[in-house]
Amino acid sequence: MSENHKIEVLFQQCYQHEPDVVCHAPARVNIIGDHTDYNDGFVFPAAIDCGTTIAASKREDQLVKVYSHDFGQSSTEFVLNQFSFDTEHMWCNYIKGSVQALMEKYPNLRGANIVVTGNVAQGAGLSSSASFEMAILKTFTSLYQLDLDGVTAAQMGQQAENEYVGCNCGIMDQLISAMGKKDHAMLLDCRDLSFEDAPIDEGLSLLVINSNVKRGLVDSEYNLRREQCEQVADHFNCKALRDVTLSQLIAEKDKLSEVLFRRAKHVITENERTVAALAAFKASNMPALSQLMAESHQSLRDDFEVTTKEMDGLVDIVSEQIGNQGGVRMTGGGFGGCVVVIMPKDLVDTVIEQVNIQYPQRFGLVADIYICHASQGAFRHTEVN
């Protein structure tokens, strides 16, 4: 049974009629470029073939009724324009925040009957929240034939997360979920939201390995890292660390705390690595990409301090198998979550075997391993870039 058919059956069981629309938004994995997005920098993500699927029908009133199949099989409802933070159903706040942002542009929005399903590992760092936000916005856009483009939708999703949920995330997660291209990664400039698609060679596989070290971005040190970056930008009287060069940073080293220097060093060098990764991708230069991803992980470990011993261990295990034929690094916000690997398809079985043997031996945990494919964003087909 297809995902669409499953959710249509669920919807009929909940509401006793067929849905008007079924919409999907993908999760993402970031190949390189972490903690650069909220510093107006560059990121290099790909939308992947897991995400959030929503079935919905129109209502004539302003009530939004939601059944979530994968968050404890729970139901809730709220009235448009009467938004209050839901402490019982935390997942519902992503819906409320997204719809609230949408209503700033479309104040006459009406309600909906909604069923939500998702197959993104929670807390893994694959951005289930952005997938959820983009699926909700795509659903209301489709239900009510709104003239909403993917970039604007991404900005609304970011606003929902920043202002309603309380996580100071950048724009990357929402934009790749909205605008990703099938079989491609994307170099995204988080300052002007321009992007360039990069084809993923058909001989390569994208592997995501969930360390199963759980993480919670809102409650973690993520927001602290952002504040530290802003402090350094303020020191240089700049809008963001995007505007600071490495030589400028080194020249001011004595005037910054050791921690702030390292935080900024990561962001500045990570931007350079991410732009270089596009060139490596285009030239199919795997040794260059391998080196860039290795340096990225080291920087996230030593300068930004967001890895864990388990993630470092996974990177070591994979590196031993792929050498410079592929790249491996932690991905996402950090403090647990996933490792991303890009490598020749003929090495996949060996890597999976060794992770399944060595990771439990070393850390007492079992990793979940996903062979991913780059997929289409929720809004991509409506636009020409």
Q: Any idea what the CATH number is for the domain that residue 60 is in?
A: 3.30.230.10
Give how many domains the chain has, as a whole number: 2
What is the mean predicted confidence (pLDDT) over 171-185? 94
Residues 10 and 80 in one domain: yes
pLDDT, residue 384, reads: 45
pLDDT, residue 216, reads: 55
366: pLDDT strictly greater than 80? yes
Residues 168 and 241 in one domain: no
Residues 144 and 218 in one domain: no
- At residue 291, the 3 state secondary structure works out as helix
C-alpha pair distances (Å), 322 with each of 290, 294, 299, 328:
9, 12, 20, 9
Helix, strand, coil shares of the chain as percentages rounded to 5? 45, 20, 30
Residues 224 and 162 in one domain: no
Comparing 7-21, 143-157, 215-229, 369-383, the range with the smallest average pLDDT is 215-229
Angle in degrees, CA 134, 102, 116, rounded to 5: 40
What is the mean predicted confidence (pLDDT) over 87-113? 93
309: pLDDT strictly greater than 70? yes
Residues 139 and 174 in one domain: yes
Q: Name the band, by pLDDT with cuts 50, 70 and 90, for residue 3.
A: confident
pTM to 2 decimal places? 0.89
Q: Which two tokens stand for residue 159?
A: 């606003």
What does the pLDDT look like over 270-306, one tens digit per residue? 999 999 999 999 999 999 999 999 999 999 999 999 9
Q: What is the CA radius of gyration of the chain?
A: 21
Domain that holds residue 285: 201-372
What is the mean predicted confidence (pLDDT) over 83-100? 89
Q: Are 23 and 98 in contact (CB under 8 A)?
A: no
Angle between helices 92-105 and 128-143 (to 10 degrees): 50
What is the mean predicted confidence (pLDDT) over 72-99? 88
CATH number of the domain within which 267 lies: 3.30.70.890
| 70 flagged as catalytic | no
Q: Which two tokens stand for residue 133?
A: 């936000």
Q: Which two tokens stand for residue 319?
A: 């590196």
Residues 213 and 172 in one domain: no
Q: Name the band, by pLDDT with cuts 50, 70 and 90, for residue 383.
A: very low
Residues 184 and 257 in one domain: no
78: pLDDT strictly greater than 60? yes
- Taking alpha carbons only, the member of 251, 328, 252 closest to residue 294 is 328
Q: Which two tokens stand for residue 334?
A: 């950090």
Q: Which residues contact 353 (CB under 8 A, 6 or more apart)?
A: none
317: pLDDT strictly greater than 50? yes
Residues 256 and 354 in one domain: yes
Q: Name the band, by pLDDT with cuts 50, 70 and 90, for residue 220.
A: low
Q: Which residue among 37, 40, 173, 197 is the active-site one?
A: 173
Residue spans of beta strands (DSSP E) within 283-377: 327-331, 338-344, 368-372
pLDDT, residue 70, reads: 79
C-alpha pair distances (Å), 211 with each of 93, 314, 335, 356:
27, 8, 10, 11
Residues 165 and 186 in one domain: yes
What does the pLDDT look like over 185-218, one tens digit per residue? 999 999 999 999 999 999 999 999 999 987 655 4
pLDDT, residue 101, reads: 96
pLDDT, residue 227, reads: 94
Q: What is the mean pLDDT of the chain?
A: 92
Q: Name the band, by pLDDT with cuts 50, 70 and 90, for residue 382.
A: very low
Residues 49 and 193 in one domain: yes
Q: Are 331 and 31 in contact (CB under 8 A)?
A: yes
Comparing 122-131, 166-175, 182-191, the range with the smallest average pLDDT is 122-131
